[in-house]
Structure 1
């Protein structure tokens, strides 16, 4: 399973890790995924999804 948010489709971001001597090495900034149960209004059952924390914070505004 890819490390990707199932609602917002967020995925890892390319970045640099910078040392004290300012040597740059490439690294990945991974998405903060959490496993949550969400009530589906269409199917009338609980669905387990991997969603990002930003999506969890915005769920109150979106009314998912």
Structure 2
């Protein structure tokens, strides 16, 4: 399974790790993915999703 949010389609960010001597090396900043069961009102059953914590936070705000 890919490291991608199934709702927001967020994925890893390319960044640089900078050492004390200021040497830059490439690194990935992965998103915080969680496995979550969410109740679907349309299908009337539980759905397993792999979503980011940002998406979980927004879902609890709008009460889905």
Q: Same fold (TM over 0.5)?
A: yes
1:28 aligns with 28
Q: Residues of 1 paired with 2:17 and 2:31: CA distance?
A: 17
Question: How many residues are paired up?
Answer: 64
Q: Residues of 2 paired with 1:61 and 1:5: CA distance?
A: 18
Q: What's the CA shift string for 1:5-43, capped at 9, x where partnerless? A: 000000000000000111000000001000000000000
The two structures have a TM-score, normalised by structure 2, of 0.94
RMSD: 0.8
The two structures have a TM-score, normalised by structure 1, of 0.94
Q: Residues of 2 paired with 1:60 and 1:4: CA distance?
A: 20
